[in-house]
């Protein structure tokens, strides 16, 4: 196994451990309060794993370098883009911080949301990195970074649709006309929808900042202690 492959396995393992910690914290809260408050975090984190799985699948087929692989890579990449907003969507769950008044200290709920949101964010970062790598290998560096910017913008818009309009990724197939009508109503009048522009733009900048920071940190080349 190459050093790059070992590094990717280590990242997957770390995210898996973080997921176990998240579920453990949520389970303890269920036991302590005898409620199912914040149960949606487990569902949202499950959805956050989907784009990473799709990105890994696309990358696995890309390695084969066979023409038939692209028949699978293209629809897989489109599905990745469709589910990509689910990864960072958990960050918006901080809006629920003061919603449930249970017999747990507020700091516990804060830590619960921090664990879930950062795990979801990192799942999105890693899945985007895998797709970035795939696009760069296929069509070049400029196209790779263009893909990152476009995917981040579309992903942030998808988070807006989910948080403020209540749409889900699968609604693209389940109710495409209703979804398209509502999207066009807001996109066609951006000045009348300041929340759309403000949220999508600021979230995209935040995600790009985190992605670029992670990218540069990964290329620092720290010397290992001997």
Per-residue 3-state assignment (H helix, E strand, C coil) for 40-66: HHHHHHHHHHHHHHHHHHHHHHHHHCC
Beta-carbon-side half-sphere exposure of residue 96 (alpha carbons within 13 Å): 20
Instruction: For residue 222, tell me if it sits in a domain.
Output: no
At residue 68, the pLDDT reads: 62
- Buried-state track 127-152, b at ≥16 Cβ within 10 A, e below 16: bbbbbbebbbeeeeeeebeebbeebb
Instruction: For residue 224, tell me if it sits in a domain.
Output: no
At 62, the pLDDT band (50, 70, 90 cuts) reads confident
CA 109/CA 115 separation, integer angstroms: 10
Is 80 exceeded by the pLDDT of residue 64? no
CA 73/CA 79 separation, integer angstroms: 10
Tell me what the mean pLDDT of segment 138-158 comes to. 94
Instruction: For residue 223, tell me if it sits in a domain.
Output: no
Instruction: For residue 125, tell me if it sits in a domain.
Output: yes
List C-alpha distances in Å: 170 to 15, 47, 138, 163.
25, 11, 28, 15
CB 160 within 8 Å of CB 200: yes
- What is the domain range of residue 47? 3-217
Phi and psi torsions of 193, nearest 5°: -125, 70
Percent of the chain beyond pLDDT 90?
A: 56
Instruction: For residue 70, tell me if it sits in a domain.
Output: yes
User: What's this model's pTM, rounded to 2 decimal places?
Assistant: 0.89
Is 60 exceeded by the pLDDT of residue 134? yes
CA 68/CA 71 separation, integer angstroms: 5
Q: The tokens of 200 are what? A: 């999508």
Domain count along the chain = 1
Instruction: For residue 85, tell me if it sits in a domain.
Output: yes
Instruction: For residue 226, tell me if it sits in a domain.
Output: no
Instruction: For residue 120, tell me if it sits in a domain.
Output: yes
pLDDT per position as a tens digit, 153-211: 999 999 999 888 887 777 777 777 887 887 787 787 777 778 888 999 999 999 999 99
């Amino acid at each position: 196994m190459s050093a790059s492959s070992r590094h990717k396995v280590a990242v997957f393992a770390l995210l898996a451990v973080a997921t176990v910690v998240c579920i453990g914290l949520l389970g303890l809260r269920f036991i302590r309060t005898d409620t199912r408050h914040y149960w949606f975090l487990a569902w949202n984190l499950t959805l956050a794993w989907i784009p990473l799985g799709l990105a890994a699948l696309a990358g696995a087929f890309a390695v084969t370098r066979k023409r038939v692989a692209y028949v699978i890579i293209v629809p897989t990449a489109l599905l990745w883009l469709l589910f990509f907003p689910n990864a960072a969507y958990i960050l918006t769950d901080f809006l629920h911080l003061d919603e449930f008044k249970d017999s747990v200290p507020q700091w516990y709920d804060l830590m619960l949301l921090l664990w879930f949101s950062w795990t979801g964010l990192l799942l999105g970062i890693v899945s985007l990195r895998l797709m970035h790598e795939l696009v760069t290998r296929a069509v070049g560096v400029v196209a790779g970074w263009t893909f990152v910017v476009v995917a981040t913008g579309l992903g942030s818009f998808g988070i807006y649709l989910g948080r403020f309009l209540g749409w889900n990724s699968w609604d693209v197939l389940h109710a495409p006309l209703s979804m398209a009508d509502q999207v066009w109503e807001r996109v066609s009048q951006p000045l009348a929808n300041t929340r759309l522009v403000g949220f999508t733009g600021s979230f995209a900048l935040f995600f790009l900042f985190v992605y670029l920071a992670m990218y540069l940190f990964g290329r620092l080349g720290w010397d290992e202690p001997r």
